[in-house]
């Protein structure tokens, strides 16, 4: 394998809950997992029914073009099918962009403390990653625009960002797009966009006619509660989408996932409930963090990152009480932990365990 493959540090997998329970000597059912920014409501019942119904034809290959899901996305967002590329999770979408645009001798720009898949996908293509220092743990868009080099082919931006939850508003993103050369693809990763408040919301898709180098990436894993099924989508100019489809595996999204995602898009009530549960849970958890006099980063996502100092020790103390959160030392934040927002009782379990861990 090329040296640049040997140089990659793999994405660290989480431990299965069963194994963790055995290790900690606690019952599996008592474990609260708030580690992967999943939806504590599960997924829409209508989507689940569609998933089960799709099993009837499971011996058939999926529709490699995702006709029905694309039609649902077109109806929802006012775009055309040739503007959509489907992914096996939005990680796949990010990787397809890297495959289509990066090669040895090119570079990609991303922020410090940004989502781990950007450097991974960049390095896997033998391209150079240009990591731009963060501003208040979030994207410094001016510095990122200035960091674009002559060999830069992609800029990755997560809004809101994971693991910091930071958010830049739409007008700043628009100004950024106007500054970036038109032959550089700007991948705007909106994995958590459904959690934005009314005031934060912006319409990135309306920028596409002016910025054909914009690719908006979204996922069904978070607010739609379908992380295990793996569905994401990218929306961009047909020429961008065409390049990505050239390197896409023919059947990258399975038939159960396609059916579930199509049904999930129609269940607006579920989406609204997910955002509502998140908003309340965020208040519940940040109030407790304030009481404990901990520093945290205001988050626009379904998780919040807070500073504990010795994160390894606090994490272990939480694990012993059956609460799983995410240490983010790998993101260059060794003193911080990230907790996903759960149901009220799960949040309460986390808060009690944290209080105990810090006592
Ligand atoms: N982008 C961001 C910013 C994320 O946090 C995640 C999930 N951790 C993803 C993309 C990928 O999620 P998925 O592949 O499940 O769509």
Which residues does ligand 1 sit against, CB inside 6 Å? Answer: 37, 89-91, 115, 158, 162, 189, 191, 219, 221, 227, 232
The overall pTM is greater than 0.80: yes
From the first residue on, what is the mean pLDDT of each consecutive set of 10 residues in the chain (359 residues)?
A: 92 85 90 97 97 97 98 98 98 98 98 96 98 98 98 98 98 98 98 98 98 98 98 98 98 98 97 98 98 98 98 96 95 97 98 97
- Contact between residue 47 and residue 261 where contact means Cβ atoms under 8 Å apart: yes
Q: Which of 35, 90, 190, 217 to mutate to test the pocket of ligand 1 (most atoms within 8 A of CB)?
A: 90
Rounded Cα–Cα distance for residues 233 and 204 (Å):
14
- How many whole angstroms from 181 Cα to the centroid of ligand 1? 26
- How many whole angstroms from 191 Cα to the centroid of ligand 1? 6
Q: How much is the pLDDT for 290? A: 98
Q: How much is the pLDDT for 243? A: 98
Atom of ligand 1 nearest to the CA of 90: 16
pLDDT digits over 285-320, tens only? 999 999 999 999 999 999 999 999 999 999 999 999
Atom of ligand 1 nearest to the CA of 189: 1
- How many whole angstroms from 338 Cα to the centroid of ligand 1? 15
pLDDT digits over 17-39, tens only? 999 899 888 999 999 999 999 99
Atom of ligand 1 nearest to the CA of 36: 8
Q: How much is the pLDDT for 14? A: 80
Sheet holding 152-158, edge to edge: 84-87, 232-236, 214-219, 185-189, 152-158, 107-111, 128-132
Mind listing the domains of the chain with CATH numbers?
3-42+269-358 (3.90.1150.10), 45-266 (3.40.640.10)
Question: Would you call 337 helix, strand, or coil by DSSP?
Answer: strand
In this structure, how many other beta carbons lie within 10 angstroms of the beta carbon of residue 332? Answer: 11
- How many whole angstroms from 359 Cα to the centroid of ligand 1? 34
Q: How much is the pLDDT for 12? A: 76
Pairing type for strands 303-307 and 323-324 reads unpaired
């Amino acid at each position: 394998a090329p040296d640049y493959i040997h140089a990659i540090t793999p994405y660290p997998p989480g431990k299965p809950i069963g194994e963790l329970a055995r290790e900690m000597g606690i019952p599996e059912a008592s474990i609260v997992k708030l580690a992967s920014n999943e939806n504590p409501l599960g997924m829409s019942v209508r989507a689940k029914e569609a998933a089960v119904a799709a099993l009837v034809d499971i011996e058939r290959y999926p529709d490699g073009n995702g006709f029905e899901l694309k039609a649902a996305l077109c109806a929802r967002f006012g775009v055309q099918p040739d503007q959509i590329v489907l992914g096996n999770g939005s990680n796949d979408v990010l990787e397809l962009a890297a495959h289509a645009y990066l090669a040895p001798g090119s570079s990609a720009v991303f922020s410090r403390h940004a989502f781990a898949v950007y450097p991974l996908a960049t390095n896997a293509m033998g391209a150079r990653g240009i990591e731009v220092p963060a501003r208040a743990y979030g994207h410094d868009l001016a510095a990122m625009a200035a960091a674009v080099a002559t060999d830069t082919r992609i800029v990755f931006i997560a809004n809101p960002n994971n693991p910091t939850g930071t958010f830049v508003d739409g007008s700043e993103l628009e100004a950024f797009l106007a500054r970036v050369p038109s032959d550089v693809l700007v991948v705007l990763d909106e994995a958590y966009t459904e959690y934005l408040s009314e005031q934060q919301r912006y319409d990135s898709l309306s920028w596409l006619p002016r910025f054909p180098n914009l690719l908006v990436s979204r996922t069904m894993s978070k607010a739609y509660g379908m992380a295990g099924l793996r569905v994401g989508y990218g929306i961009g100019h047909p020429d961008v989408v065409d390049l990505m489809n050239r390197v896409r595996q023919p059947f990258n999204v399975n038939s159960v996932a396609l059916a579930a995602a199509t049904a999930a898009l129609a269940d607006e009530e579920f989406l609204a409930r997910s955002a509502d549960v998140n908003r309340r849970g965020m208040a519940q958890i940040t109030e407790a963090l304030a009481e404990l006099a901990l520093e945290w980063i205001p988050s626009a996502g379904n998780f919040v990152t807070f500073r504990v100092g010795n994160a390894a020790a606090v994490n272990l103390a939480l694990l012993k009480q059956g609460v799983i959160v995410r240490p983010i030392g790998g993101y260059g934040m060794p003193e911080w932990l990230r907790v996903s927002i759960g149901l009220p009782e799960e949040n309460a379990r986390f808060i009690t365990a944290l209080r105990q861990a810090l006592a």
